[in-house]
Amino acid sequence: SLCFLLCSFAFLSLPLFHTFISLLTLFLGDVRVRSRAGFETERRGSHPYIDFRIFHSNSEIEVSVSARNVRRLLSFQRYLRSSRFFRGITVPNSSNILDDDYNGQAKCMLEKVGNWNFDIFLFDRLTNGNSLVSLTFHLFNLHGLIEHFQLDTMKLRRFLVMVQEDYHSQNPYHNAVHAADVTQAMHCYLKEPKLSESLTPWDVLLSLIAAATHDLDHPGVNQPFLIKTNHYLATLYKNTSVLENHHWRSAVGLLRESGLFAHMSLENRQLMESQIGDLILATDISQQNEYLSMFRSHLDRGDLCLEDANHRHFILQMALKCADICNPCRTWELSKQWSEKVTEEFFHQGDIEKKYHLGVSPLCDRQTETIANIQIGFMTYLVEPLFAEWARFSNTRLSQTMLGHLGLNKASWKGVQREQSGGGEDADPAFEEMDSDILPQEPRLS
């Protein structure tokens, strides 16, 4: 193995050892897997850190190595316990996982995973921060995907754990809990009559994977920030759908690393990767106007045929777009929490931009913006137009419930706005000033 080889060379003279390490680094290079489809996947943290102090022998280092081995042992014990937990095996007298009461409450919540008032924040607490893994694994089983696609449950769990770990928990909004919330919303849409009657297991599989990975490895700042700071991702993707391309490539990297679909043919795996990319790329807000216009045109003509695979795929794109920005359509208690979290992330970016004199991005200045103003603008120019068209497509109780919450939440934020300003504009002018390609200027709903 590589470790054994390194240890063997450690006994060489120091110059020879350094020469060997240099050659080894040159040989390994950037360890990415180039697909036959012609692009490189991305995997954050795929390059293992090697602490070269282990090749020196002194008591201080030996103590630190010993401590590290203990930590690794504890981590392995936690892995075994969590593995048993996800297989439904009770681990008695465990202080490292949730007690039986919390496990029972989490399972009760999963029985109602299709309810629109599902509290993802509570579920995340009950699963000890494992909401994305627990919920997505449950949905794979609920939809019969594990059996239909003959998936190895341990590989599936490993994939989901890697996905969850590649979200940044320090992000107030774009984290694994948001991904779990979007996945739960996507499940609700998949249950709608028009979709449930026509979708294939393949469609459901793509939808759940895309929802769970749609913001994978999100850095907590937006695309304009990456562009103006000359971030390598902006250069890599030529300033076009930078974050969405990164989320997609990262998801593909984890799929390949986990080997979850290694038993499938290469052709099917490549098709899966491509179609997951189509879904994730549709969440790019800069393409909102284009997708909304296409959706509206289809509805006006009445030519959507869900027996057509291309039409089903387009509807799944629209469903994921809805799931991604459905926070204002939740109950006030949930919607308000999401509003506070996303604004906190905006303001954090603005603080960085101020510190380094980069020019504060729209909606990111905590001195001039408020949560109420931002949310009213968001609902007016983005959420209402999209969900109005979704209700035309799927005029169900769920659609009316979402529009009802949307109206009530907007009225609540207007009340907050009036209290703060003594009566002001309904929407943040920053939304109207932004590029029309990014934010469609749609008429407001009555």
In the chain, domain spans: 1-31, 75-324, 333-433
Helix (H) / strand (E) element for 375: namely helix 371-378
Could you say which of 174, 218, 246, 405 is catalytic?
Answer: 174
For residue 114, the model assigns a pLDDT of 98
Check the annotation: does 251 bind a ligand: no
Q: CA 198, 326, 248 angle in degrees (round to 5)?
A: 70
Residue 114 C-beta-side C-alpha neighbours within 13 Å: 10
Can you give the pLDDT at residue 44? 53
For position 3, what pLDDT does the model report?
52
Q: What pLDDT sits at residue 303?
A: 97
Phi, psi of 40 (to 5 degrees): -90, 135
The answer, yes or no, to whether residue 431 has pLDDT greater than 70, is no
Q: Please, which pLDDT band fits residue 75 given cuts at 50, 70 and 90?
A: very low
As a whole number, mean pLDDT of residues 344-349 equals: 98
Active site residue 174: yes
Write down the pLDDT at residue 112: 97
DSSP labels, 107-127: HHHHTTTT-TT--HHHHHHHT
Does 163 appear as a known binding residue?
no
221 marked ligand binding residue: no
Mean per-residue pLDDT over the chain, rounded: 83
Cα angle for residues 149, 155, 158 (degrees, 5° grid): 135
Any binding-site annotation on 252? no
Q: In this predicted structure, what is the pLDDT of residue 422?
A: 73
pLDDT of 360 strictly over 50: yes
What's the angle, vertex CA 20, arms to CA 14 and CA 25, rounded to 5?
125
Q: What is the pLDDT of residues 135-190, one digit of tens each?
A: 999 999 999 999 999 999 999 999 999 999 999 999 999 999 999 999 999 999 99
pLDDT at 135: 98
The CATH superfamily holding the domain 75-324 is 3'5'-cyclic nucleotide phosphodiesterase, catalytic domain (1.10.1300.10)
Q: Which distant-in-sequence residues (6+ apart) come within 8 Å of 406 by Cβ? A: 328, 329, 379, 383, 384, 387
| Confidence at residue 64, expressed as pLDDT on a 0 to 100 scale | 40
- Token code pair at residue 427: 């929407």
Q: Return all residues near 162 (Cβ < 8 A) that are at least 6 apart.
A: 254, 257, 258
214 is in an annotated binding site: yes
Q: Is 34 helix (H, G, I), strand (E, B) or coil?
A: strand
Average pLDDT of span 246-268: 98
In whole angstroms, give the CA distance from residue 312 to residue 309.
5
176 is in an annotated binding site: yes
Sign of CA dihedral 269, 86, 184, 427: negative
**Quick check: 409 pLDDT over 80?**
yes
pLDDT of residue 424: 53
Give the helix/strand (H/E) hosting 8.
helix 2-9
- 298 assigned ligand-binding residue: no
Is residue 247 a known part of a binding site?
Answer: no
